[in-house]
């Protein structure tokens, strides 16, 4: 402003007639500058509003009622700010997989701002304008609804245009991308595919970051997945009977005592009687083996447990966990099926069903079934045993269990929790203290086993086997009144989803594909259940709505990875849930 006044004085001195003209010009310049400044502020506000609106749109489209189908990340080699990117992606229109799906594409920049999206007719995504290349861009293939829950494959053609020169990246032909329905009821989280093409996967374990071992039930193969790729050859093939519920069922990994970088891998499987690896081969028994992992192979097998199995392949259990005490815990079901096959088996063998481990007062001594067994990493009993000092009773950590596929230790207290499958009612979540008696077959859930009549609610049923007072029955901490098939229980010992989820419990079911999220009370001995679930009983699907965290199809396992994200084994795939941004 001082410079302008000085120029005005000089001009007036040189030519007095110019003074008025300069005053007018300066006024016009000032007005123009003011208008430009106002326009600038308006554009900034508009951009901010657009960004907020875009982020609202992300949430509106993605969560909670819509499903993320696939997440593709593109990392471009050119990072100079002078380079700009136009992006184009097509879903091939001849794909019959799209018949039952409302599908569209979305493109985001690294900050989560929506750059472009396709319509449901053309399924062609093109950015409206160029934008600076940063660290990455993210493309989502989205689905709003489906007439069924089947998994489909959609061919994708990926094209990037740089400075008007079109180049094909990553693939030289259309790529088949796996598509599976996944819904997450949290707008800040997103699901992405880790790997596809597995054959009936049951359980998984981590060797390291982006390094996974996963079991294929009927084939008896242990596959290794590194950076999202299944290695060409399995790390192990075992002789399994996949008949019924048998097969390759449980896995856990621990460091060896010999080398800090070496791994023990524990496997639980149903061994085939005739040596054939088949879903129709009859079982010879359930086995727990320890292997050493070296040179991409599982070597030096050592059999730790030889357990019974019935010829119908029912209720083998099989969940494996290496506890905070470095001992190995394994669930074993009651090896029985429905009442008809149970009675037939009992008549044929005169043994098995009538076991004290199943609360039959005059039954046979336990033989390893219907409980949670605990052994050292070398396969030996831990101490003198909780229920008794004779083998295999001295292996029992808990008993009275019908069948179980879910088990984990609370990272805060070290308490063990499990899930239990009921006949047609009374599926459970339990706090499992040493010597825990889950009550089967006298009681399941909060009801007697002899019926589902109202008024038969019991917290302390009578006539249970207690092994001279060493076994203690306690009621479930949560019950489903109908069959959902709980298959996994995992404590989320990670802060990657924020304090809202840290150290909370996740439980998955196979029937509905639900992942339930439960808080614990201050003492961490009970679930902190809201509203209609305060009575610990889920009587209807509606009562569970607030507890449902996510929905997938065909879940068999949950794990927390070294990256702090939640991993899900689902049908022939592994997914992970991670924050939307970051």
Q: Check residues 457 and 438 and name the one with the higher pLDDT.
A: 438
Whole-number pLDDT of residue 447: 67
Residues 336 and 357 in one domain: yes
Q: List the single range of 158-167, 250-259, 302-311 with lowest mean pLDDT.
A: 158-167
> 391-425: buried (b, 16+ CB within 10 Å) or exposed (e) per residue?
ebbbbbbbbbbbbbbbbbbbeeeebbbbbbbbbeb
Whole-number pLDDT of residue 399: 98
Instruction: Determine, yes or no, domain membership for 5.
Output: no
For tokens 């294929």, the residue is: 216
Quickly list DSSP for 190-246.
EEEEEEE--SSEEEEEEEETTEEEEEETTTTEEEEEETTEE-SS-SEE--BB-STT-
Task: Give how far Cα 65 sits from Cα of 58, 61, 143, 183, 390, Å.
Answer: 12, 8, 10, 7, 55
Residues 224 and 133 in one domain: no
Residues 163 and 279 in one domain: no
Residues 77 and 202 in one domain: no
Whole-number pLDDT of residue 193: 80
- What confidence category does residue 393 fall into, taking pLDDT thresholds of 50, 70 and 90? very high
> 438-468: buried (b, 16+ CB within 10 Å) or exposed (e) per residue?
bbbbbbbbbbbbeeeeeeeeeeebeebbebe
> Rounded distance, CA 402 to CA 11, Å?
101
Strands 566-570 and 573-579, bridge-based pairing: antiparallel
User: Measured in whole angstroms, how far is the alpha carbon of residue 191 from the centre of its chain?
Assistant: 9
> Rounded distance, CA 338 to CA 52, Å?
56
Residues 220 and 101 in one domain: no
Instruction: Determine, yes or no, domain membership for 114.
Output: yes
pLDDT at 85 over 50: no
Residues 388 and 351 in one domain: yes
Task: Give how far Cα 528 sits from Cα of 134, 415, 430, 534, Å.
Answer: 44, 16, 14, 8
> Rounded distance, CA 70 to CA 54, Å?
20
Residues 162 and 201 in one domain: no
Task: Give how far Cα 124 sits from Cα of 91, 141, 152, 164, Å.
Answer: 7, 11, 19, 18
Q: Check residues 471 and 274 and name the one with the higher pLDDT.
A: 471
**Tokens, residue 502:** 């840290």
Instruction: Determine, yes or no, domain membership for 9.
Output: no
Residues 291 and 172 in one domain: no
Residue 144: which residues within 8 A CB-CB, separation 6 or more? Answer: 61, 65, 66, 67, 102, 103, 104
Task: Provide the residue range defining the domain that includes 237.
Answer: 192-579
Q: Check residues 183 and 504 and name the one with the higher pLDDT.
A: 504
Residue 441: cis peptide before it, omega within 30 degrees of 0: yes
CA atoms within 13 A of residue 225's CA, in its CB half-sphere? 24
Residues 354 and 280 in one domain: yes
Contact 387, 394 (CB under 8 A): yes
Strand, helix or coil for residue 53? helix
Contact 175, 156 (CB under 8 A): yes
- DSSP letter for 366, please: P
367: alpha, beta or left? (left if phi > 0; alpha if psi -120 to 50): alpha
Strands (E), 451-533: 472-473, 478-480, 486-491, 505-509, 514-520, 527-528
Instruction: Determine, yes or no, domain membership for 421.
Output: yes
Whole-number pLDDT of residue 242: 85
Q: Which helix (H) or strand (E) holds 38?
A: helix 18-62
For tokens 């030289």, the residue is: 172
Q: Which helix (H) or strand (E) holds 88?
A: strand 84-91
Residues 105 and 199 in one domain: no
**pLDDT (tens digit, 9 = 90+) per residue, 474-500?**
999 999 998 899 999 999 999 999 999
Whole-number pLDDT of residue 188: 85
Residues written for the chain = 582
Residues 361 and 457 in one domain: yes
- Of 153, 181, 209, the last residue of a domain is 181
**Tokens, residue 411:** 């990272």
| CATH number of the domain bearing residue 446 | 2.120.10.30
Residue 310: which residues within 8 A CB-CB, separation 6 or more? Answer: 283, 335, 336, 337, 345, 352
| CATH number of the domain bearing residue 129 | 2.60.120
- What confidence category does residue 563 fall into, taking pLDDT thresholds of 50, 70 and 90? very high
Residues 298 and 366 in one domain: yes
Of the candidates 551, 505, 500, 547, the residue with the CA atom closest to the CA atom of residue 188: 500
pLDDT at 60 over 60: no
pLDDT at 127 over 60: no
Instruction: Determine, yes or no, domain membership for 224.
Output: yes
Of the candidates 338, 317, 199, the residue with the CA atom closest to the CA atom of residue 269: 317
Strands 263-272 and 67-74, bridge-based pairing: unpaired
- Of 147, 181, 215, the last residue of a domain is 181
Instruction: Determine, yes or no, domain membership for 55.
Output: no
Instruction: Determine, yes or no, domain membership for 25.
Output: no
Quickly list DSSP for 122-167.
T-EEE-SS-EE--S-EEEEEEEEEESS---EEEEEEEEEEETTEEE
- The percent of residues in the chain predicted with pLDDT above 70, rounded, is 61
Q: Which helix (H) or strand (E) holds 345?
A: helix 339-349
- Across the chain, mean pLDDT equals 74
pLDDT at 410 over 70: yes
> Rounded distance, CA 216 to CA 220, Å?
6
Contact 68, 182 (CB under 8 A): yes
> Rounded distance, CA 297 to CA 509, Å?
32
**How many domains does one find in the chain?**
2
- Of 149, 181, 213, the last residue of a domain is 181
**What is the average pLDDT across 93-104?**
47
Q: List the single range of 19-23, 260-264, 411-415, 553-557 with lowest mean pLDDT.
A: 19-23
Whole-number pLDDT of residue 81: 28
> Rounded distance, CA 1 to CA 447, Å?
88
**What is the average pLDDT across 211-231?**
95
Q: Check residues 7 and 466 and name the one with the higher pLDDT.
A: 466
**What is the average pLDDT across 524-539?**
94
Of the candidates 245, 241, 267, 378, the residue with the CA atom closest to the CA atom of residue 320: 267
């Amino acid at each position: 402003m001082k410079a302008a006044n000085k120029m005005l004085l000089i001009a007036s001195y040189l030519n007095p007639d110019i003074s008025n003209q300069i005053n007018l010009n300066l006024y016009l310049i000032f007005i123009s500058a003011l208008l430009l400044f106002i326009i600038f502020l308006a554009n900034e506000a508009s951009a901010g509003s657009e960004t907020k609106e875009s982020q609202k749109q992300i949430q509106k489209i993605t969560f909670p009622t819509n499903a993320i189908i696939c997440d593709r990340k593109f990392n471009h080699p050119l990072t100079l700010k002078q380079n700009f990117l136009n992006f184009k992606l097509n879903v091939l229109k001849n794909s019959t997989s799209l018949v039952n799906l409302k599908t569209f594409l979305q493109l985001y920049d690294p900050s989560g701002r929506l750059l472009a999206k396709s319509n449901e007719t053309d399924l062609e995504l093109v950015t409206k304008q160029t934008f600076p290349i940063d660290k990455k861009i993210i493309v989502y293939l989205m689905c709003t609804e489906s007439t069924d829950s089947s998994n489909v494959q959609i061919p994708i053609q990926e094209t990037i245009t740089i400075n008007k020169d079109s180049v094909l990246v990553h693939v030289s032909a259309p790529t088949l991308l796996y598509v599976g329905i996944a819904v997450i009821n949290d707008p800040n989280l997103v699901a992405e595919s880790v790997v596809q093409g597995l054959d009936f996967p049951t359980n998984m374990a981590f060797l390291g970051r982006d390094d996974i071992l996963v079991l294929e039930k009927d084939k008896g193969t242990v596959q290794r997945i590194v950076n999202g790729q299944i290695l060409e050859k399995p790390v192990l093939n075992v002789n399994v009977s996949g008949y019924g519920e048998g097969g390759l069922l449980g896995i856990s990994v621990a460091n060896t005592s010999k080398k800090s970088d070496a791994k023990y891998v524990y496997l639980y499987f149903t061994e085939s009687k005739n040596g054939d690896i088949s879903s129709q081969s009859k079982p010879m028994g359930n086995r727990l083996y320890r292997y050493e992992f070296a040179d991409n192979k599982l070597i030096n097998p050592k059999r730790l447990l030889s357990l019974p199995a019935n010829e119908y392949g029912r209720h083998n259990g099989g969940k494996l966990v290496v506890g905070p005490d470095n001992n190995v815990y394994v669930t074993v079901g009651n090896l029985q099926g429905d009442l008809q096959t149970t009675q037939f088996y009992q008549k044929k063998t005169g043994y098995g069903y009538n076991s004290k481990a199943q609360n039959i007062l005059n039954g046979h001594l336990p033989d390893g079934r219907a409980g949670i067994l605990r052994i050292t990493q070398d396969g030996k009993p831990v101490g003198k045993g909780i229920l008794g000092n004779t083998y295999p009773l001295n292996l029992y950590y808990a008993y009275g269990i019908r069948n179980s596929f879910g088990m984990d230790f609370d990272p805060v207290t070290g308490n063990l929790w499990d899930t239990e499958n009921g006949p047609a009612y009374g599926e459970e979540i339990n706090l499992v203290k040493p010597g825990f008696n889950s009550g089967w077959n006298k009681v399941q859930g909060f009801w007697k086993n002899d019926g589902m009549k109202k008024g038969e609610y019991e917290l302390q049923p009578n006539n249970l086997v207690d092994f001279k007072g060493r076994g203690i029955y306690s009621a479930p901490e949560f019950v489903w009144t109908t069959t959902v098939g709980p298959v996994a229980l995992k404590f989320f010992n990670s802060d990657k989803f924020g304090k809202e989820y840290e150290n909370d419990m996740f439980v998955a079911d196979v029937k509905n594909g639900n992942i339930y999220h439960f808080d614990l009370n201050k003492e961490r001995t009970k679930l902190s259940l809201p509203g209609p679930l305060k009575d610990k009983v889920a009587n209807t699907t509606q009562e569970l709505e607030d507890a449902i965290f996510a929905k997938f199809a065909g879940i068999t396992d949950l794990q927390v990875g070294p990256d702090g994200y939640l991993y899900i084994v689902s049908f022939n795939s592994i997914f992970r849930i991670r924050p939307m941004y970051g």
